[in-house]
Amino acid sequence: MTRFFVDISMSLDGFVAGPDAKLEEPLGKGGERLHDWVLRLASWRSTHGLDGGETGPDDDLVRATRERVGAEIMGRRMFSGGEGPWEDDPNADGWWGDNPPFHVPVFVLTHHDREPVVKEGGTTFTFVTDGIESALEDARAAAGESDVLLGGGASVVQQYLRAGQLDELNIHVAPILLGGGVSLFGELGTDAPGLKLRKVVESPFVTHVSYEVVKA
């Protein structure tokens, strides 16, 4: 059975974006610091069409994650930062230009119908309007023998956690306090699933913690 997992950077105070996210500052105030650890890595640079970069445990981990992913799911806000009808979204093409860094089929959860978009480098964006379970079915079918990555954002992560459909949480804890913003887990209440620690990988720049989600 292939696996469905989250892979996301979070501040020590639990935020995946800082306060006041907007089109010009999609990760909110200070939020770009969540990703300082990854931007230096050879694996990250190569998926973005860049040479060079650092190797080591952080890089090995990012590379291994990329290699297991056959499809990705993300929320509309992560895709464009917008909401509502696509024709009114100033960032309707997404953040990533002609050759996005995903290189796999991406399924975008939205309430607004739209034809699929085919980009260079193997990335396609398919817009799913009939719910998270349908998106997961589509992504699993597209991924074949590979795993499905849930890229974010927080709202979508919480929806899949409540629905009991995630197998694994991989959190990159950045050594920062954002002071506010978008909380990854929010308040799941009694829907919060059990966890089991899988693995910890550390570097001076970030702490990677991986958990198995315990199915009820």
Q: How far is the CB of 134 from its own copies (least distance, A)?
A: 25
Q: Is 211 in the site for its own copies (CB under 8 A)?
A: yes
Burial zone of 11 (CB within 10 Å; 0-12 exposed, 13-18 middle, 19+ buried): buried
Q: Which stretch binds its own copies (CB under 8 A): 8-16, 57-65, 77-85, 131-139?
A: 8-16
Q: Is 20 in the site for its own copies (CB under 8 A)?
A: no
Q: d(Cα 10, Cα 15) in Å, to the nearest integer?
A: 5
Q: Is 207 in the site for its own copies (CB under 8 A)?
A: yes
Q: d(Cα 24, Cα 28) in Å, to the nearest integer?
A: 9
Q: How far is the CB of 210 from its own copies (least distance, A)?
A: 10
Residues 147-166 that bind its own copies (CB under 8 A): 161
Contact (Cβ atoms closer than 8 angstroms) between residue 34 and residue 10: yes
Q: Is 50 in the site for its own copies (CB under 8 A)?
A: no
Q: Which one of 2, 3, 19, 86 is in contact with its own copies (CB under 8 A)?
A: 19
Spell out, one character per residue from 169 to 198, where the chain touches its own copies: x when CB under 8 A holds, - when not.
x-x-x-xxxxxx--xxxxxxxxxxxxxxx-
Choose between 106 and 184: whose C-beta lies nearer to its own copies.
Answer: 184
CA distances from 180 to 17, 27, 29, 148 (A): 8, 12, 9, 29
Choose between 62 and 173: whose C-beta lies nearer to its own copies.
Answer: 173
Residues 6+ apart with CB under 8 A from 110: 76, 79, 127, 128, 129
Spell out, one character per residue from 105 to 144, where the chain touches its own copies: x when CB under 8 A holds, - when not.
----------------------------------------
Per DSSP (E only), the strands in the chain are 4-11, 15-17, 69-75, 105-109, 117-118, 124-128, 147-152, 168-174, 182-183, 194-202, 207-214
Q: How far is the CB of 14 from its own copies (least distance, A)?
A: 4
Taking alpha carbons only, the member of 99, 82, 84 closest to residue 26 is 82
Q: Is 202 in the site for its own copies (CB under 8 A)?
A: yes
Please state the separation of Cα 79 from the chain's center in Å.
Answer: 10
Q: How many residues bind its own copies (CB under 8 A)?
A: 37
Residue ranges that bind its own copies, judged by CB under 8 A: 12-14, 19, 161, 169, 171, 173, 175-180, 183-197, 200, 202, 204-207, 209, 211
